Chain A
Amino acid sequence: MQSFLNKYPRIWRIFDVLLPVIAALAALAVGAVILIFLDASPIEAYGAMVDGAFGSTNALADTLVKATPLLLVAVGICIAFRGGVLNIGGEGQLVMGAVASTLIGLLLPGAPGAVIIPLALLSGFLAGAVWGAIPGMLKAYFNVNEILSTIMMNVIAVQLMNYLLREPMIDPNQFDSASKIPQTARLVVAFDLPRLIPTRLHLGTGLAILAAILVYIFLWRTVIGYRIRAVGLSTFASRYAGISVPRYIVLALLLSGAFAGLAGAIQVYGLHHRMFTDGSATGFTGSAGFNGIVVALFGNLHPLGAIPASILFGAMIVGANKLQRVMQVPSAFITVLNGLVVIFVVSSEYFRRRWARHRDTEVTEKVAEPASTEAAE
């Protein structure tokens, strides 16, 4: 088996791609056991899931709409990862991007959409950048662990959002309606991102795919991108090569946050057309800030790989929502499933590394040549 695979090294590639899918299926299998305990038929449940995600044009469009923020966050995560930092702050960055862009739309209701939409997306991008740059600077100049600081920044962003939505930004009509969830007024219709086909699919999905392509070019075809990756591979060697390591650590987290912030702005202008909060981050973000990390892993930490990965993950979320509606399972089941997928996917990386080693040792033994550049990667 082993030698057969080494004769056709491309077959390993298929394993690499399939691995996260297998991991996700394993997570769904554990989910099935939980469903049995909940007195729900797993076959029926997952059937509903597939139907909900791919069953109709509308379902497909919803899947793509769900995939959009995941892809943007994941693209940012790719930059951070390649730069050697772990950005757990997507939730907060997304929230801040959404808040900033909503503010623009609320403050300038009379302006033309052609002005406001780009301005709002830019402000979301910048707000996310700020929220990412702060942990970046704390890491680069004060040696504060970015995992901890980004988690704290998440909570701060959520509380800021709760305060703003409860007090200054609240919908003036909310006092009349019976809704308990604080929300802003609906933004002017002229500010809605254009719809692509008569579904909920909006321009944001296209922008996200564009962003993935641009980030790929940025990371692999520009000097700055090259330096970010160099710092991620070895801070020591980079410093030796004259690269200012702290500056590129800040830049990696800043850009990572910026794309999450853009995701927030696109959620507002493309999908919700307002902001709302149930008090937690998940209420608005749907955990996209966390799930984007998993999508990035799914896609091998490659911006282009993140495109199909985000669609798969978007399908899973849309399907899980349908499952919950059809089977009357508490919505918390989705969070459980989400956690299981994260755990299984991140654990499955182990097998990827093991295979990679097998592959390298066998190839070098047989060919007795220096390892190919691909293997050295």
Chain B
Amino acid sequence: MISELFTATVLVGILASGIRLATPYLYAALGETFGQKSGVLNLGVEGVMLLGAFFSFYVAFTTGNLWLGLLAAIVMGAIMGVVIAIVNVTLQAQQGISGIGIYLFGLGMSDLLFQITLGTVETVKGFPEMHFPVLSDLPWVGEIFFQQNLLVYIAYILVPISWFLLNKTNVGLKIRAVGENPEAADSLGVSVSTVRYFTCILGGILSGIAGASMSIALLNVFQQNLTSGLGFIAVALVYFGGWRPFGVLIGSLIFSMVNALQLWVQVLSIPIPSDVAIMMPYLLTILALVIAVQRVKPPTALAKPFERGE
């Protein structure tokens, strides 16, 4: 039965879904990269994703307009970004714990709202697969690369944009300075808290979109705990990617491919218990961290609140 995995159709299927499934990882992990580069560790990504997923689904379901749905996720993400910034930057909370609070809040709130508004699992017609003349009809390559939906492509385009923003612009320089040496940045007139508020809000927006990409583009449903731990993997992917957008891209692809493989293993009913299969990406995360952490050093001020000296 294992040999069934190696037919062309299945391989193309795995690659195509791997490319597609990397989308939420990419949005969430790129957003988290900005935060961590500036010194804020936000463990609450999962909670924000769930809220984004719910609001985009609810708005898209009731209005029938996907763009309004996406906007709802962005607004919700930005609001949560502000909350995260208040807690972690202004009130200087211990970031490992506050993130768990944000997660529990998002998990409960998205479920609560789901139960009082929709109550049952509904579906929407999500962002459709795009069709490019000629390219989409290419054998194999077409199915893998050129039959995806818009949010998938935007996620990939965000990788070079994030790289450019972080490494080639003034804003990026400030973000990195604040994450490496906030005292020095502060003495040069950079407002540490303003920069961190900015990255928290940006991270919140991208987490919200990550949720929306699941509920109105990839799965087109909303249910309790839709993201099931994906947001936490996204945080780990930032470490794995060495706080670099292209590193995050590679990490996201590896994980989504493993996930796609895991799904196909279940589809082909290869006798590996599904619970064990679901475990695989997490085991892989730990292994990946062991390997990755040896190479790069995290931002010096990561998870360290900054306070101006007197």
Say whether A338 contacts B286, CB under 8 Å.
Answer: no
Cross-interface CB contact of A148 among B87, B111, B115, B236, cutoff 8 Å: B236
Chain A contacts of B109 at CB under 8 A? 332, 336, 339
Say whether B290 contacts A144, CB under 8 Å.
Answer: yes
How far, in angstroms, from A340 to B102 measured CA to CA in the complex? 8
Check B232 for interface membership: any CB of A closer than 8 A. Answer: yes
**Segment with Cβ contacts to A, from B64-72, B213-221, B245-253, B273-281:** B273-281
Say whether B108 contacts A339, CB under 8 Å.
Answer: yes
Residue of A nearest to B290 (CB): A142
CB of A116, distance to nearest CB on chain B (Å): 28
Say whether A343 contacts B275, CB under 8 Å.
Answer: no
Say whether B93 contacts A330, CB under 8 Å.
Answer: no
Say whether B104 contacts A162, CB under 8 Å.
Answer: no
Residue of A nearest to B108 (CB): A335
Cross-interface CB contact of A338 among B94, B98, B104, B224, cutoff 8 Å: B104
CB of A51, distance to nearest CB on chain B (Å): 23
CB of B256, distance to nearest CB on chain A (Å): 17
Say whether A144 contacts B293, CB under 8 Å.
Answer: yes
How far, in angstroms, from A88 to B105 measured CA to CA in the complex? 17
Contact (A333, B108) CB under 8 Å given A147-B43, A347-B93 = yes
CB of A9, distance to nearest CB on chain B (Å): 22
Chain B contacts of A149 at CB under 8 A? 286, 289
How far, in angstroms, from A151 to B235 measured CA to CA in the complex? 11
Contact (A346, B97) CB under 8 Å given A159-B278, A330-B115, A339-B102 = yes
Task: Please encode chain B, from 100 to 122, with 1 for each CB lying within 8 Å of some chain A CB and 0 for all others.
Answer: 11111111110110011000000
Residue of B nearest to A39 (CB): B116
A-B interface pairs (CB < 8 A), number: 142
Chain B contacts of A151 at CB under 8 A? 43, 232, 236
Contact (A290, B100) CB under 8 Å given A156-B282, A336-B105 = yes
How far, in angstroms, from A144 to B93 measured CA to CA in the complex? 22
Chain B contacts of A294 at CB under 8 A? 97
Check B128 for interface membership: any CB of A closer than 8 A. Answer: no
How far, in angstroms, from A159 to B273 measured CA to CA in the complex? 10
Say whether B279 contacts A335, CB under 8 Å.
Answer: no
Residue of B nearest to A277 (CB): B275
Instruction: Identify which of residues 328-377 in chain A touch chain B, using a CB-to-CB cut-off of 8 Å.
Output: 330, 332-343, 346-347, 349-350, 353
Residue of B nearest to A341 (CB): B101
Say whether A350 contacts B293, CB under 8 Å.
Answer: no
Check B267 for interface membership: any CB of A closer than 8 A. Answer: no
Say whether B101 contacts A343, CB under 8 Å.
Answer: yes
Task: Please encode chain A, from 283 to 295, with 1 for each CB lying within 8 Å of some chain B CB and 0 for all others.
Answer: 0000100100110
Residue of A nearest to B119 (CB): A330
Say whether B290 contacts A86, CB under 8 Å.
Answer: no
Residue of B nearest to A282 (CB): B107
Instruction: Identify which of residues 291-340 in chain A touch chain B, using a CB-to-CB cut-off of 8 Å.
Output: 293-294, 297, 330, 332-340
Check A44 for interface membership: any CB of B closer than 8 A. Answer: no
**A interface, size bucket:** 35 or more
Check B160 for interface membership: any CB of A closer than 8 A. Answer: no
Contact (A144, B286) CB under 8 Å given A163-B273, A342-B100 = yes
Task: Please encode chain B, from 272 to 307, with 1 for each CB lying within 8 Å of some chain A CB and 0 for all others.
Answer: 010110110011011001100110001000000000
Contact (A155, B279) CB under 8 Å given A330-B111, A332-B115, A336-B109 = yes
Say whether B100 contacts A138, CB under 8 Å.
Answer: no
Chain A contacts of B286 at CB under 8 A? 138, 144, 149, 152-153
Contact (A340, B100) CB under 8 Å given A148-B235, A332-B112 = no
Find the residue from A148, A149, A290, A347 having the highest chain B CB count within 10 A.
Answer: A148
CB of A149, distance to nearest CB on chain B (Å): 6
Contact (A145, B289) CB under 8 Å given A342-B100, A342-B104, A347-B93 = yes
CB of A214, distance to nearest CB on chain B (Å): 25
Contact (A334, B293) CB under 8 Å given A152-B285, A155-B282 = no
Check A38 for interface membership: any CB of B closer than 8 A. Answer: yes
Chain B contacts of A353 at CB under 8 A? 92
Chain B contacts of A350 at CB under 8 A? 91-93
Check B25 for interface membership: any CB of A closer than 8 A. Answer: no
Check B242 for interface membership: any CB of A closer than 8 A. Answer: no
CB of B32, distance to nearest CB on chain A (Å): 12
Cross-interface CB contact of B239 among A145, A336, A341, cutoff 8 Å: A145
How far, in angstroms, from A143 to B286 measured CA to CA in the complex? 12
Residue of A nearest to B41 (CB): A147
Contact (A159, B279) CB under 8 Å given A339-B104, A349-B94 = yes
Contact (A290, B93) CB under 8 Å given A149-B289, A332-B112, A347-B98 = no
Chain A contacts of B294 at CB under 8 A? 142-143
How far, in angstroms, from A346 to B92 measured CA to CA in the complex? 9
Check B162 for interface membership: any CB of A closer than 8 A. Answer: no
Say whether A148 contacts B239, CB under 8 Å.
Answer: yes
CB of B260, distance to nearest CB on chain A (Å): 18
Find the residue from A88, A145, A163 having the highest chain B CB count within 10 A.
Answer: A145
Check A280 for interface membership: any CB of B closer than 8 A. Answer: yes
Contact (A336, B92) CB under 8 Å given A160-B279, A163-B275, A343-B101 = no
Say whether A86 contacts B106, CB under 8 Å.
Answer: no
Chain B contacts of A346 at CB under 8 A? 87, 93-94, 97-98, 101
Say whether B283 contacts A156, CB under 8 Å.
Answer: yes
Top 9 A-B pairs, shortest CB-CB distance: A335-B108, A339-B105, A342-B101, A339-B104, A336-B108, A343-B101, A163-B275, A332-B111, A332-B112
Supply 27 A–B pairs (Cβ within 8 Å), ascending by A. A38-B112, A138-B290, A142-B290, A144-B289, A144-B290, A145-B298, A148-B236, A151-B236, A156-B282, A159-B275, A159-B278, A159-B279, A159-B282, A167-B273, A287-B104, A290-B100, A330-B116, A336-B108, A339-B47, A339-B105, A340-B105, A341-B101, A342-B101, A343-B87, A343-B98, A346-B87, A346-B97
Extra A-B contacts (7), CB below 8 Å, given A155-B282, A347-B87: A86-B96, A142-B294, A144-B290, A151-B43, A333-B112, A343-B102, A350-B92
